[in-house]
């Protein structure tokens, strides 16, 4: 019997090590939806325990996250900075319904989106999710983590939004390595309790705890080449390290920007929206995370990343960087229609699913205001349309602010 994601592969072959790697781990994992829905998926994942899997956006899409949440049996721990994916919200609520303990740690603020975060908190609370809010001691809690059943860790450079997942270059990893998973859980638990976090794992990079030290050492260890995705490298110490490596014969290429007019590095502006911070060192090691090489993101914000050494994962990043370096124009599916967002707001409202949390919230508000009185269908329709348009307007404004949050 053929398998959906690999038509030429049988179920029996899928369960062999050789075919499993060829199908799912060749250079970078681009998870096909058909595979996440397949009956053989749990067995594939079981056989791949301990592997490090790479997510590349927008190619990987939302399927790996949904598959992870749907696989959960006991617990889900999730850290949220920005969020507008109704599919993920529905999956979290469904997990609660089947008895999974879901814990969400939500940022106390983000630029322009506090109102939406508070509404999300209320919806999750009503669904039975345990919701905590980060402290306000740091400028921003900007990390993006998901842990399933305390054994499967997602570390992402992107938010759980349409803009980041569907229209941006971004990366993430999935790991079942015990030490890495436990370290992530320790950080989440510390931030929930609003207690200090002490780093005990060198490859788990956390701002402002150990990020400056670990990333300085990582850059300083380059001998031949540094390939970097970064919206803007501006930290003085990191620029000095990069300049020193350049003087010592290390090739330094940056997709993004440098916060100085005069520098010796090769830099190309991305032809697509960039929402990742990634460094590939000497084609053997890599860093993927949420922190840029900027002072604020190293010293005054909560950011998280990982240093990885697995050849297939590094190879996937390398292949993507080289393709992006040569890219002259962004493919249509990755282009961001920012300038048309406001003009298309009416069309976006018309396409909203009745199951979308925004629509549900608007309907609830109408019913609550009407009380026990009989409802006039025309009045209900007009009120709901107004409420939905207001909700969409808020999200459009948030997206426009999100476009400049990393500048």
Cα distance between residue 274 and residue 58, in whole Å: 11
Nearest of 68, 108, 73, 113 to residue 91 by alpha carbon? 68
Confidence category of residue 204, pLDDT binned at 50, 70, 90: very high
Fold of the CATH domain 204-334: Endonuclease; Chain A (3.30.870)
Find the mean pLDDT for residues 219-233.
Answer: 97
State residue 329's pLDDT score.
81
State residue 13's pLDDT score.
36
State residue 276's pLDDT score.
92
pLDDT at 12 over 80: no
pLDDT at 309 over 90: yes
Outline where 72-113 has alpha helix (H): 86-97
Cα distance between residue 200 and residue 183, in whole Å: 8
Q: What is the pLDDT of residues 141-187, one digit of tens each?
A: 999 999 999 999 999 999 999 999 999 999 999 999 999 999 999 99
Outline where 167-235 has alpha helix (H): 178-193, 211-220
Considering 77-81, 115-119, 352-356, the range whose residues carry the highest mean pLDDT is 77-81
Confidence category of residue 113, pLDDT binned at 50, 70, 90: confident
Pairing of strands 301-308, 140-141: parallel
How far does the chain reach from its first CA to its final CA, in angstroms? Answer: 51
From residue 43, how far is each of 18, 47, 326, 382 by CA, in Å?
15, 6, 38, 50
Percent of the chain exceeding pLDDT 90 equals 64
Confidence category of residue 365, pLDDT binned at 50, 70, 90: low
Find the mean pLDDT for residues 225-251.
Answer: 97
State residue 192's pLDDT score.
98
Q: Mean pLDDT for the chain?
A: 82
State residue 110's pLDDT score.
82
Confidence category of residue 328, pLDDT binned at 50, 70, 90: confident
Question: What contacts 24+ positions apart, CB below 8 Å, involve 129-133?
Answer: 129/92, 129/93, 129/96, 129/102, 129/103, 129/104, 130/101, 130/102, 130/103, 130/104, 131/104, 131/106, 132/103, 132/104, 132/105, 132/106, 132/192, 133/105, 133/106, 133/107, 133/108
State residue 46's pLDDT score.
42
State residue 393's pLDDT score.
60
Q: 3-class DSSP state for residue 333?
A: helix
Cα distance between residue 311 and residue 195, in whole Å: 36
Put simply, whether the predicted model's pTM sits higher than 0.85 gets the answer: no
Per the model's pLDDT, the better-predicted residue between 307 and 389 turns out to be 307
Percent of the chain exceeding pLDDT 70 equals 69
State residue 373's pLDDT score.
56
Q: What is the pLDDT of residues 256-283, one digit of tens each?
A: 999 998 999 999 999 889 999 999 999 9
pLDDT at 375 over 80: no
Instruction: For domain 2-193, give the CATH superfamily.
Output: Endonuclease Chain A (3.30.870.10)
Where do you find CATH 3.30.870.10 in the chain?
2-193, 204-334
**Cβ contacts of 97 within 8 Å, gap of 6 or more:** 128
């Amino acid at each position: 019997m053929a398998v959906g994601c690999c038509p030429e592969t049988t179920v029996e072959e899928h369960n062999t090590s050789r075919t499993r790697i060829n199908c799912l781990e060749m250079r970078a994992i681009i998870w096909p939806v058909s595979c996440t829905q397949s009956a053989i998926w749990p067995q594939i994942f079981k056989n791949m325990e301990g592997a490090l899997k790479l997510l590349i956006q927008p190619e990987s899409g939302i399927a790996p996250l949904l598959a992870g949440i749907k696989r959960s049996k006991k617990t889900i721990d999730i850290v949220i900075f920005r969020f507008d994916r109704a599919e993920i919200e529905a999956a979290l609520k469904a997990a609660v319904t089947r008895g999974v303990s879901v814990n969400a740690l939500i940022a106390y603020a983000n630029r322009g989106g506090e109102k939406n975060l508070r509404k999300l908190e209320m919806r999750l609370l009503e669904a039975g999710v345990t919701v905590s809010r980060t402290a306000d001691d740091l400028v921003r809690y900007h990390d993006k983590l998901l842990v399933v059943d305390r054994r499967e860790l997602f570390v992402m450079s992107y938010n759980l939004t349409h803009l980041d997942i569907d229209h941006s270059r971004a990366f993430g990893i999935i790991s079942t390595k015990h030490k890495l998973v436990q370290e992530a859980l320790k950080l989440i638990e510390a931030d929930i309790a609003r207690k200090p976090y002490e780093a005990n794992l060198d490859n788990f990079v956390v701002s402002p705890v150990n990020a400056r030290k670990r990333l300085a050492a990582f850059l300083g260890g380059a001998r031949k080449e540094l390939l970097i995705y970064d919206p803007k490298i501006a930290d003085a110490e990191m620029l000095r390290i990069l300049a020193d490596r350049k003087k010592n014969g290390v090739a330094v290429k940056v997709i993004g920007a440098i916060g100085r007019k005069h520098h010796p590095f090769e830099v190309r502006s991305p032809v697509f929206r960039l929402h990742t911070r990634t460094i590939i060192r000497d084609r053997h090691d890599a860093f993927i995370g949420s922190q840029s090489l900027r002072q604020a993101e190293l010293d005054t914000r909560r950011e998280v990343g990982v240093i990885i050494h697995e050849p297939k994962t590094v190879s996937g990043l390398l292949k993507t960087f080289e393709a992006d370096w040569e890219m002259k124009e962004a493919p249509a599916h990755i282009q961001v229609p920012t300038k048309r967002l406001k003009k298309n707001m009416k069309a976006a409202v018309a396409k909203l699913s009745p199951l979308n949390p925004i629509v549900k919230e608007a309907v609830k508000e109408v019913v609550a205001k009407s009380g026990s009185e009989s409802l006039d269908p025309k009045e209900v329709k007009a009120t709901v349309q107004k409420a939905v348009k207001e909700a969409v307007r808020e999200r459009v404004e948030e997206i426009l602010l999100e476009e400049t949050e990393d500048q």
